[in-house]
Amino acid sequence: MTMSLEEDPTEDLDVSTQMEVGKFSQLPAAERTTSVAKPIVCIQTFKSDTNDPLSLEATLRELDPQYVVMFHCNVTAIRQLEVHEARLRREIENRMKVFFLLHAQTIEEQSYLTNLRREKQAFEHLIDTKKTMVIPKRLSEQEEREMAQEEFREATSMRNAAQSSEKSPALMKIVTDMREFRSDLPCLIHKLGIEVIPITLTIGDYVLTPEVCVERKSISDLIGSLNSGRLYNQCTQMVRNYAVPILLIEFDQNRPFYLQDRYMISNDTVSNSDIKQKLQLLTLHFPKLRIVWSPNPYATAQLFYEMKQNKPEPNEKLCSVIGSDNHTAESEALEKFNLEIYDFLLKLPGVTEKNVFKLMKSFKDFKELLKADQAQLQEALGSRESAKLLWDILHVPQKPKIETSTSGKFPHAKFKGRKFQKAK
């Protein structure tokens, strides 16, 4: 700020000479307090740090200048001036005026115009990209589901308040294995308004309905279970005890949703083709098994929520004893018949889950089954086509596609002397 001073013989000297004679250091206190309304000239540098008290933004807030002369045309500083003026929302005649010092047809002018052109191209590219951008909806869908659940609960409470005699709808529930609480999935299921019942399950990880059981596997757990054979035993138990067994393969939310070429598990390299071949063998052994792929736990929670719609709720007491030693089997296969022979008969052509029990009741063992003709097989299976398929596989020599040491006869030696029904 310019001070009003009394006339001094040293006033005509330049600034360096005045500093040498000590004029500024010897001003009386009374003269320093006298000021007049003269324009304030501030030389400002471009500082990018907004928290700096000497930055352009801080200077604009403090001084609110009426005129700005741009000695260097910095695009960032120009945009700061525009933002400052836009915040004040002043009339046109009261707005800040900006002047630019530029030499026409110089490199400086071309540099400034180039920066403006790049800025325009960046905004145009941003607009074009946004038109075709795929926006992830995981979080937004999660919020929408939470809002829908909240609105449903509020509507239910208001309806119950208006009609006290009306019963509230039953809360959906899922029986969950205790070991699954090391993952995020039980918490995500609970956020959807589904009650999570933690118990120790012998078969499966999640029981959605009395008929639906889910075994959840991550990629690393899937590879380890396939190599050790543990997954085969788990699927066997699910198929025997539940009508709809499901193998859920869940990917990591931070990884791509596809099988990679190679996996490193316990210093062993597992290829993509090995996993696919073992999964194909698994589906051939268990035709009832459903394999579901999930990209992340959020999608799995949403899948469980949709599968629970209008379905009966599971019984946690029954789920806890299924597969244990104390479980009393209700299935005829587990109660009366030999399970190994039961599984073997299901692999024969013409034998299905609908006629396998009748077939095992009609014949005592494989010896009687081999002596039966097509009429007896048709009576046991209830279908002429099924009886012909079974009789052909038992009596007609089959030619293998590749040469092996097998004679083509039915391999009944393994089950020789073993009866269909269990000994009482």
pTM: 0.43
Looking at the predicted structure, is the pLDDT value of residue 30 above 50?
Answer: no
**Residue 11 is encoded by which pair of tokens?**
């006033």
Q: Please indicate whether residue 58 or residue 212 has the higher confidence score (pLDDT).
A: 212
Residues 236 and 279 in one domain: yes
Residues 389 and 340 in one domain: yes
Residues 108 and 54 in one domain: yes
Mean pLDDT score of the chain: 76
Residues 187 and 288 in one domain: yes
Alpha carbons 216 and 327: distance in angstroms, whole number: 23
pLDDT in tens, 252-265: 877 777 776 555 44
pLDDT computed for residue 78 by the predictor:
87
Residues 354 and 233 in one domain: no
Domain hosting 209: range is 170-321
pLDDT in tens, 70-115: 888 888 888 888 888 888 888 888 888 989 888 888 888 888 889 8
Q: How confident is the model at residue 245 (pLDDT cuts 50, 70, 90)?
A: very high
Q: Please indicate whether residue 391 or residue 163 has the higher confidence score (pLDDT).
A: 391
User: Residue 372 CA to chain centroid, in angstroms?
Assistant: 56
Residues 311 and 344 in one domain: no
pLDDT computed for residue 411 by the predictor:
54
Residues 306 and 337 in one domain: no
As a whole number, mean pLDDT of residues 20-30 equals: 45
pLDDT computed for residue 215 by the predictor:
93
Query: Which residues lie below 8 Å from residue 418, measured CB to CB, with a gap of 6+?
Result: 338, 341, 365, 366
Q: How confident is the model at residue 410 (pLDDT cuts 50, 70, 90)?
A: low
pLDDT computed for residue 206 by the predictor:
93
Residues 205 and 312 in one domain: yes
For 172-206, b where at least 16 C-beta lie within 10 A, e where not — what string? bbbbbbeebeeeebbebbeebbbebeeeebebbbb
Asked if the structure places residue 82 within a domain, the reply is yes
Q: Please indicate whether residue 188 or residue 353 has the higher confidence score (pLDDT).
A: 188
Query: Which residues lie below 8 Å from residue 246, measured CB to CB, with a gap of 6+?
Result: 212, 213, 214, 215, 289, 290, 291, 292
pLDDT in tens, 62-80: 888 889 998 888 888 888 8
Q: Where on the phi/psi map is residue 252: left (φ > 0), alpha (ψ -120 to 50), or beta? A: beta
Cβ contact 332:357 at 8 Å: yes
Identify the domain boundary among 287, 321, 355. 321
171 phi/psi in degrees, rounded to 5 = -75, 135
SS3 annotation, 204-217: CCEECCCCEEEEEE
Q: How confident is the model at residue 138 (pLDDT cuts 50, 70, 90)?
A: low
Residues 264 and 358 in one domain: no
pLDDT computed for residue 216 by the predictor:
92
List % helix, strand, coil for the chain (3-state, nearest 5): 50, 10, 40
Asked if the structure places residue 151 within a domain, the reply is no
H/E element, 99: strand 97-100
Alpha carbons 11 and 17: distance in angstroms, whole number: 10
Query: What are the start-end ranges of the E strands in 158-317?
Result: 173-177, 195-199, 206-207, 212-218, 244-250, 262-265, 268-271, 290-294
Residues 368 and 299 in one domain: no
Bridge-partner residues for 15, per DSSP? none
pLDDT computed for residue 268 by the predictor:
54
Identify the domain boundary among 294, 321, 348. 321
As a whole number, mean pLDDT of residues 334-352 equals: 74
As a whole number, mean pLDDT of residues 373-382 equals: 85
pLDDT computed for residue 213 by the predictor:
92
Alpha carbons 107 and 168: distance in angstroms, whole number: 77
Looking at the predicted structure, is the pLDDT value of residue 143 above 80?
Answer: no
As a whole number, mean pLDDT of residues 116-121 equals: 90
Looking at the predicted structure, is the pLDDT value of residue 59 above 90?
Answer: no
Looking at the predicted structure, is the pLDDT value of residue 280 above 80?
Answer: yes
Residues 352 and 259 in one domain: no
Lowest mean pLDDT among 49-53, 70-74, 136-140: 136-140
H/E element, 186: helix 185-191
pLDDT computed for residue 246 by the predictor:
92
As a whole number, mean pLDDT of residues 42-52 equals: 74
Looking at the predicted structure, is the pLDDT value of residue 153 above 80?
Answer: no
Residues 279 and 239 in one domain: yes
Number of H helices, E strands in the chain: 18, 10
Q: Give the best-scoring range by mean pLDDT among 212-216, 222-226, 241-245, 256-260.
A: 212-216
Q: Please indicate whether residue 274 or residue 232 has the higher confidence score (pLDDT).
A: 232
List Cα–Cα distances, 308 to 171, 174, 181, 212, 322, in angstroms: 11, 9, 20, 10, 21
pLDDT computed for residue 383 by the predictor:
83
Q: How confident is the model at residue 208 (pLDDT cuts 50, 70, 90)?
A: very high
Asked if the structure places residue 422 within a domain, the reply is no
Asked if the structure places residue 92 within a domain, the reply is yes
Looking at the predicted structure, is the pLDDT value of residue 242 above 70?
Answer: yes
Q: Please indicate whether residue 156 or residue 129 has the higher confidence score (pLDDT).
A: 129
List Cα–Cα distances, 219 to 356, 371, 411, in angstroms: 36, 48, 37
Alpha carbons 178 and 193: distance in angstroms, whole number: 19
Looking at the predicted structure, is the pLDDT value of residue 272 above 60?
Answer: yes
Cβ contact 181:198 at 8 Å: yes
pLDDT computed for residue 382 by the predictor:
83
Asked if the structure places residue 9 within a domain, the reply is no
For the chain, the domain total comes to 3
Asked if the structure places residue 307 within a domain, the reply is yes
Lowest mean pLDDT among 43-57, 97-111, 148-162: 148-162
Identify the domain boundary among 264, 286, 321. 321
Lowest mean pLDDT among 146-160, 219-233, 252-266: 252-266
Q: How confident is the model at residue 412 (pLDDT cuts 50, 70, 90)?
A: low
Alpha carbons 173 and 343: distance in angstroms, whole number: 33
